[in-house]
Structure 1
């Protein structure tokens, strides 16, 4: 063990990765409920720092208690207003709430998306509420894993409710919704929104539909279309309800809170051990593949497999042949990863 690192043993006796004393102190503050420590650990995860895996190892056994709610739907559907009211409802129940907002721009850009979220500042001074935005710009597929790890930090910190809000309805947003226990798809009456939701693939992932701004013309039609679509689903398991809301006037949100609680009760009563085992296995594959990709990339940039990389650079060997040679040669692969460790 290195002299400047500390090893720890989890409650199941499994030895976790060593970490330096500075990070150990940060984790101690995190365990004591220090929100600044939570913020620093989230930044570490978002920036894909090498120590992030050791951090998640340490806190992993404290996760699994929060109800994670995904809120998605087209831009302009009133998701931020709805989330703002949901925070107030859950705080009235004395529940600790965290919001993870996925933005297409930098969290510090002051863009229109975050401008819409200014109303959430009502809750910033509440110690029982934690709100964080992370950027989806330039993530190239890494956002889903970063979001998963941030949700684990929020869970381990002791939040009862974690709300993940996405801006759009693209593939990135669909992948992030996979992190939620309950997915809420928000629609509005205008523009054939129900049809757009179905085209975007949100119909398959929705546990609850919300028709927001339901005072507008066409709301009943959208509700009927969604209910018909739910009716056409195979008649087994949970059937998504359609809830009408006017979030800006705090109408219908109590019904949504009720449906969210019902879905959580349903999940608790119908736990599927096979599905949970598959989810853990999928997470393992995601962690290993992501870590290998990052280590290989860093090593190749800092001199790992120097001769092979030189052959590719000069056109003597194509990238696919080079990759095959690496993967079929455990010694060469080990050398590559060892170069990564030396670089750290």
Structure 2
């Protein structure tokens, strides 16, 4: 245990890769390692990149990493991909575009399968970010699956959230109207070389001006235009990220966001423990029998739930 921790803290890439594999496999050893590493974390700036599929998130992340490397930053990337319905593994897709970065020892990229998580993140994402943080990577960029409104989960892990919008994608604006607007710290209009980029910026500006919560906020959400084709806008985007990070620290928002994220993590860990206890206490055959009896109206779901709560210790049997 001490060996892998010491190697990881010294920046050993193989130890970090091994650690994330243990995390993804839900190994009991991973929990012990993470508990040991916790005191060495909290230094990295964690950036979430979200937006609808096709908005250009993967290309943007690759260019963003290169811009940070120009400034001598050691960059970590967690790229969450959709899960294959056949193998259960990550469908890597656009990750091929990041292969050009793989040879740099100061860049660590890990693809993780979403495994059906609705929030656009893998259940292991937060722990993988923690391991990268302990290994000295800063910033750490999380690229989410890209499923629209469900992506609000990213704000429970990231400190700064980029919402990426491409010109001519009306669905993007509709998704933002439906709720993503609330999680954006910085808007990125990608593919600025395409027609409609200025119109997209205007629509976003109007939406922000009409939002009463944003009008009261000290932080004015910037809208940054980027073009991977013309290599434009990425220096400005990194500067906007620096400014937001500084704002969080100076305003005290960083502490409140971290507390909110810790509370969310504790709740998630407790829910995982309850789910595990249920899996151990109730066999597949019994689940089938219970659901069958409820379907036949021979039992009701409320009584069954109370009995199961008592069995795993969440409720006294006599209640």
* 2:250 paired residue number: 269
SS of residue paired to 2:238: helix
Using the size of structure 1 for normalisation, the TM-score is: 0.79
CA contact (8 A) 1:169 1:200 kept: no
SS of residue paired to 2:22: helix
* 1:290 paired residue number: 272
Distance 1:44 1:255 in 2: 37
Q: Find the partner of 1:184 among 152, 162, 173.
A: 162
Distance 1:29 1:295, change over 3 A: farther
Task: Please report the RMSD computed on the Cα atoms of aligned residues, expressed in angstroms.
Answer: 3.1
Using the size of structure 2 for normalisation, the TM-score is: 0.84
* Unmatched segments (≥5 aa) in structure 2: 315-319
Match runs of 1:1-344 below 5 Å? 23-106=1-84, 114-139=92-117, 143-192=121-170, 195-233=173-211, 234-272=215-253, 273-301=255-283, 312=290, 315=293, 320-327=302-309, 329=310, 332-334=311-313
Which segment is superposed worse, 189-198 or 288-297? 189-198
Distance 2:54 2:121 in 1: 23
Instruction: For residue 112 of structure 1, report the CA deviation from its aligned partner.
Output: 11
Instruction: For residue 275 of structure 1, report the CA deviation from its aligned partner.
Output: 4.9
Distance 1:326 1:193 in 2: 43
Distance 2:80 2:257 in 1: 26
Distance 1:240 1:140 in 2: 26
SS of residue paired to 2:28: coil
CA contact (8 A) 1:194 1:222 kept: no
Instruction: For residue 57 of structure 1, report the CA deviation from its aligned partner.
Output: 0.9
1:136-184 Cα shifts (integer Å, max 9, x gaps) = 1334779554211111111111101111112313455321343111111
Instruction: For residue 274 of structure 1, report the CA deviation from its aligned partner.
Output: 4.9
